[in-house]
Structure 1
Amino acid sequence: MNRRHLRWVVPAATVVVASVVAVVLVTQVGGSAACAAGGSASYYTAGRNGMCNLGTPADGAYAAVGRAEYAGGKGCGTLLDVTGPNGTTRVQVIDLCPGCPAGKIDLGKGAFAKIGSLSAGVIPVTYTTARDPEVGPLRVKVKGGKGYSSLSVVVDNHGNPLSTVELQQGAGFTALSHGEDNTWTGPSGLDGTVALRISDVYGHQALVSGLAFGQSDFQQTTQQLYGGPSPSPSPSPSPSPSPSTVESPSPAPSVVPAGVGTTAPPVKC
């Protein structure tokens, strides 16, 4: 993984401030919340793709998270609302920060500068995962077909954490496997174009067809998982529930200071 971190030495007082930030719920991946004691952010320069293989936003609106929030790749592509001393900004998770404990994140320089002073190096923050954030239509990168050992898929602009990506084969669907590098892999020997059924953890679903092999970059689609017109997926004999029959979980909890009551279920840290 090609990641160049810019680490900074900061006064001890700054570190103490960061260490006493209130306990917050910082993310919700696959239906389980991760708990972090305190919260802080530094900034770094990501590699060309980041661990998530999503590319690096030019405006620096990206983040790397620790292993707990990264969740083996399930955190990839989600959006975080991060609040620091100077305000709030929204970033996309594109990378893994192997050395970051829970509650510590690395931000792109542009995002960091919006909520704190670059000269500080490390700032106290609170952050939470955005539920149903505004995003554009899905983008999908597809590799595979003849000469490849497997189908390889990366999905962008899904907003919420994804639960499944399935390959349509005849009247049925075959689930793809999700790796830590955010790549969904499936069967080999495919030809022509492929259709994928993409679902998130809240039951939103879209069927994207006509995806071609041999494209080196993301293919732009017209489909959205939520918040816009999107054709309904075709009926399937698979047991996967349709969006209309799935009861969505309660909205993700807001960031709360320690000691303030919340109706969210208890989280074991």
Structure 2
Amino acid sequence: MNRRHLRWIVPAATAVVATVVAVVLVTQVGGNAACAAGGSASHYSAGRNGMCNLGTPAEGAYAAVGRAEYAGGSACGTYLDVTGPNGTTRVQVVDMCPGCPAGKVDLGKGAFARIGALSAGIIPVTYATVRDPEVGPLRVKVSGGTARSSLSVVVDNHGNPLSTVELQTPSGFAALRHGEDNTWTGSFGALSDPVTLRISDGYGHQALVDGLALGQKDFQQTQTQLYGGPSPSPSPSTVESSAPASPEPSATTLAAAATKSPPKC
């Protein structure tokens, strides 16, 4: 009896070990990815903005994640390394996929085609969040801030999940509220133009961005980086939101920040 029991359990244990090894190997790809997950990927074409209001990166380098991983908008603007049958690609999370269960991602067609055949429709993948991905300087869209409308802010090129966005006021910094549509909002009455924001992520990176004009419909390109480089903050220039700048390859993060903290394995 004991021998039969052992012959049955050893293959199962071997399978578990193999799975753990595979996850560890995928997690180590690129050096800074974390929390590898196994699942599947499909492909789609996003609208102009996606639910995150970030626009869509060039060459289809974007992704939508399921509601749990979307975490109320906390995954917006983060990056994933997704590995499929034909290799690995990096994508930015710009959307939510309401019908996707945990472990499934919906990729832009360009990203999907780099790791699998479009004709397959759905492919097996592993994917992992990327900590401190290479991104350009922060891009910030600021609207409202008048006597009749709340301040509304969207931030791009932050790479990691954001923890807070704060407005500088005469009495100190006041926190904005993050919504599922990835906007940070707050009611402060009529504000003086321009405004200054303090932006922080879940890993402790922080940047002060000043000279942001109110009432701009497009993203304002700053020269301030949240991490990984010098952070001067001259007056930003306005850029078209329909063609957002994104790193090559673009990427996104999976989800960890329902509690506004970085993902943990």
Query: TM-score band (shorter)?
Result: 0.7 to 0.9
Q: Is 1:107 matched up with 2:92?
A: no
Q: After superposition, what is the alpha-carbon deviation per residue over 1:157-210, rounded to whole angstroms, capped at 9, x for unaligned? A: 000000000000125100000000000001232131110000000000000001
SS at match of 1:209: strand
Q: Is 1:123 matched up with 2:126?
A: no
SS at match of 1:112: helix
Q: After superposition, what is the alpha-carbon deviation per residue over 1:108-161, rounded to whole angstroms, capped at 9, x for unaligned? A: 000000000011010000000111010000000000133642000000000000
Partners of 1:177 and 1:22 in 2: how far apart?
A: 40
| Residues 1:231 and 1:65: Cα distance change in structure 2 (over 3 Å) | same
Q: Is 1:81 matched up with 2:81?
A: yes
Unaligned runs of 5+ in 1: 1-20, 28-32, 233-251, 253-263
SS at match of 1:39: strand
Higher RCO (C-alpha 8 Å, min separation 6): 2
Q: Is 1:195 matched up with 2:193?
A: no
Q: After superposition, what is the alpha-carbon deviation per residue over 1:76-134, rounded to whole angstroms, capped at 9, x for unaligned? A: 00010000000000000000000101100000000000000011010000000111010
Unaligned runs of 5+ in 2: 1-17, 28-33, 234-252, 254-262
| Residues 1:64 and 1:219: Cα distance change in structure 2 (over 3 Å) | same
Partners of 1:223 and 1:22 in 2: how far apart?
A: 41
> How big is the shift at 1:22?
4.9
What percentage of residue pairs aligned between the two structures are identical?
A: 79
Q: Scaled by the length of structure 2, what TM-score is found?
A: 0.74
Partners of 1:84 and 1:148 in 2: how far apart?
A: 49
Task: Give the partner amino acid of 2:190.
Answer: G
Q: Scaled by the length of structure 1, what TM-score is found?
A: 0.73
| Residues 1:35 and 1:61: Cα distance change in structure 2 (over 3 Å) | closer
SS at match of 1:114: helix
Contact 2:36 2:129 in 1 (8 A): no
Q: Higher helix proportion, which one?
A: 2
Q: Is 1:145 matched up with 2:139?
A: no
For 1:223, the equivalent position in structure 2 comes to: 224
Whose radius of gyration is greater, 1 or 2? 2
Equivalenced residues, count = 210
Residues 1-269 of structure 1: matches in 2 within 5 Å?
22=19, 38-146=38-146, 148-170=148-170, 172-187=172-187, 188-231=189-232
Partners of 2:139 and 2:95 in 1: how far apart?
A: 18
Contact 1:206 1:231 in 2 (8 A): no
- RMSD of aligned Cα (Å): 2.5
Q: After superposition, what is the alpha-carbon deviation per residue over 1:201-226, rounded to whole angstroms, capped at 9, x for unaligned? A: 00000000010012111000010011
| Residues 1:72 and 1:34: Cα distance change in structure 2 (over 3 Å) | farther
